[in-house]
């Protein structure tokens, strides 16, 4: 029989029984892993484990923001937007452009707080507009085409964006020098030899959380959020109820792409070097996060992002930088085969 999963956007309440199973399994796996890592693995100790976990959470917030964009678009259009990673890359370049415009990381011409705020706002706006443009010109003509067509179009858009960035910006790495801009210092948890969280990391986590909270409020408590949920549930019925699906879809793309732009700026600040290919790998990881959490589900995307960040950090720390990507991909493939709807996705419906 054919199983066609019908995930729903933003079902933030209900169906706890189904969720309990996934949460339970996840919780047990995490506890077992933590115990093994701290007491039995070759590199033992709570400090190392916690340090890696903190790094993983920081990384995971970025992946969560990207995953949110994927989930929202899939929920509303049933389309995997491969170009999302490249919107993230463009966002980071826009942020870099603003940074350079206002003097650069070492000699900013305005207070750092204001500069960072402007970087975020402009990058989010720019990425949002780019996302809307992509939807309008690459996906809207294909609303009624076979499912394969928008996927290939998405591949084309991704390729186009990557190489346009290469053409316009060149192949050399650009440096945000984020630590020079903000601070090299941070919080030492547990004394000098304990876990170190840089101030930049704290900023990244808090802004990611703020954005996610804003999104949840948008989806849950505004009329637009209700329209978004309606269109993702049944587009034709929503149209009959007086909601314009085209506008709602465009605004959804804007929101998702703006989040990706913010993630791009965060990446630049944290890891400094940006170039035209960062969108590809980050897109894959964000994608994994969306699928693991349950594609189409917003809390799922956040959870998935966190998990992917943690797993990648642990894999790099305990195994090897080489295989950490393989581990992440392996988790994705395992989820797809065992539980395609992810952790928080709705259970699969049968096509009759």
Partner 1 sequence: MAEATPPPADAPLPATAQIGVDSWVSEADERQARHTGLWGYVARGWDRLPPAGKLALVTPAILIPFIPFVSSGNLFNYGIFILIYALLALGLNVVVGFAGLLDLGYVAFFGFGAYTYAFLSGTHSEKGHVYTHHWPAELAIPVAVVVCGVLGVFLGSTSRRLLGDYLAIVTLFFGQAFVVFTNAADPYGITNGSNGLANIDNLRFSFFGHAFTIASVRAYYWFLFGCVIVVLVLLHLLSESRTGRAWKASREDPLAAEMMGMPVNRLKIMAFALGAMIAGLAGTTFAAAQTGAFPQNFSTQVLILIYAVVILGGAGSLTGMLVGALVIIVSNQVLDSTSPPQLQRVLFYLALMVGFAWLFRSSWKKLVTVVVLTIGLGFAVHAVAAEWWPRGIHGPVTSGGFLTGAIKHWVLLPANSGRLADYAYLLAIILAVALTQLKGWWRVAIAPFLFVITVFVWENLLILQPAVTRYVLFGALLIALMATRPQGLFGTARVEIV
Partner 2 sequence: MLKRVGAIAAVAAAFAVVVSTSAWGSAKAPARSAAASKSIKCGKVRTIGVAAPLTGPASSIGVQQLHWAQYFVKRWNKAKANKNQQIKIVQGDTQLGVDTAFAVKVAHSFASNSKMLAVVGPAGSQEVVASTSTYKGGGLGWVSGSATRTTLTDGHTDGNRNGFFFRTVPNDSVQAPAVAKYMTGTLKWKRVYIIDDQETYSQGLADGVQKILQAKGVSVTRNSISQQASDFSSVIAKIPANTQGVYIPWQLAPQAQAFGQQLKAAGKSHSALFGSDGLFSPDWKIAGSYDSFFPVNTSDATVQGFVKSHGGDGQYFGAPSYVAAQVDTLAITKACKAGHGKTSRAAVRKVIAKTKLKSSILGFPVSFAKGGDIHSPASFGIYQIQKNGSFKRVG
Residues at the site binding partner 2, with contacts judged by CB under 8 A: 43, 48, 51-52, 55, 58-59, 170-173, 175, 177-180, 184, 186, 188, 193, 196, 198, 200, 270-273, 275, 277-278, 281, 313, 316-317, 320-322, 324
Give the Cα separation of 145 and 149 in Å (integer).
6
């894999």: which residue's tokens? Answer: 315
Interface with partner 1, residue 21, by CB under 8 A? no
Please state the closest distance from residue 269 (CB atom) to partner 1, in A: 25
CA of residue 170 relative to chain centroid, distance: 26
Interface with partner 1, residue 292, by CB under 8 A? no
CA of residue 260 relative to chain centroid, distance: 7
Cβ-based nearer residue to partner 2, 249 or 282: 282
Cβ-based nearer residue to partner 2, 254 or 267: 267
90-119 binders of partner 1 (CB under 8 A): none
52-75 per-residue burial string, b: 16 or more CB within 10 A, e: under 16:
bbbbbbbbbbbbbbbbbbbbbbbb
End-to-end CA distance of the chain, in Å?
Answer: 9
Read off the DSSP letter of residue 40. Answer: I
Residue in 212, 265, 280, 261 with CA at minimum distance from that of residue 87: 261
User: Residue 3 binds which entry of partner 1, partner 2, none, with Cβ cut-offs from 5 to 8 Å by kind?
Assistant: partner 1
* Backbone φ, ψ for residue 344 (5° rounding): -115, 10
User: Residue 2 binds which entry of partner 2, partner 1, none, with Cβ cut-offs from 5 to 8 Å by kind?
Assistant: partner 1
Please state the closest distance from residue 159 (CB atom) to partner 2, in A: 16
Query: Which residues form the interface with partner 1 (CB under 8 A)?
Result: 2-4, 74, 78-80, 133, 137-138, 141-142, 144-153, 155-164, 166-168, 280, 284, 287-288, 291, 321-323, 325-326, 329-330, 332-333, 336-337, 340, 351
């Amino acid at each position: 029989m054919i199983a066609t999963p019908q995930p729903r956007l933003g079902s933030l309440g209900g169906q706890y029984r189904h969720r309990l199973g996934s949460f339970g399994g996840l919780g047990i796996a995490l506890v077992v892993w933590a115990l093994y890592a701290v007491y039995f693995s070759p590199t033992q100790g709570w400090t190392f484990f916690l340090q890696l976990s903190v790094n993983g959470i920081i990384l995971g917030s970025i992946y969560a923001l990207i995953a949110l964009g994927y989930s929202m678009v899939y929920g509303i259009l049933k389309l995997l937007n491969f170009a999302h990673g490249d919107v993230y890359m463009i966002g980071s370049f826009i942020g870099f452009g603003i940074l350079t415009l206002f003097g650069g990381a070492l000699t900013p011409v305005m207070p750092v707080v204001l500069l960072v705020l402007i970087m975020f706002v402009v990058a989010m706006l720019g990425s949002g507009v780019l996302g809307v443009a992509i939807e309008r010109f690459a996906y809207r003509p294909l609303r009624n085409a076979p499912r394969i067509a928008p996927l290939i179009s998405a591949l084309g858009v991704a390729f186009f964006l990557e190489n346009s960035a290469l053409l316009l910006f060149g192949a050399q790495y650009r440096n945000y020098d984020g630590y020079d801009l903000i601070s090299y210092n941070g919080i030492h948890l547990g004394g000098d030899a304990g876990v170190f969280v840089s101030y930049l990391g704290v900023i990244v986590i808090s802004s990611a959380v703020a954005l996610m909270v804003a999104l949840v409020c948008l989806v849950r408590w505004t009329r637009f959020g209700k329209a978004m949920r309606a269109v993702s549930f049944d587009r034709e019925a929503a149209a009959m109820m007086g909601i314009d699906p085209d506008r709602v879809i465009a605004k959804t793309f804007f929101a998702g792409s703006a989040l990706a732009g913010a993630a791009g700026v965060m990446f630049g600040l944290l890891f400094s070097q940006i170039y035209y290919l960062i969108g590809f790998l980050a897109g894959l990881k964000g994608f994994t996060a969306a699928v693991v959490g349950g594609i189409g589900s917003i809390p799922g995307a956040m959870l998935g992002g966190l998990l992917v960040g943690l797993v990648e950090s642990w894999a790099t720390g305990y195994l090897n930088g080489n295989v950490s990507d393989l581990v992440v991909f392996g988790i994705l493939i395992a989820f797809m085969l065992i539980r395609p709807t992810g952790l928080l996705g709705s259970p699969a419906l049968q096509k009759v």
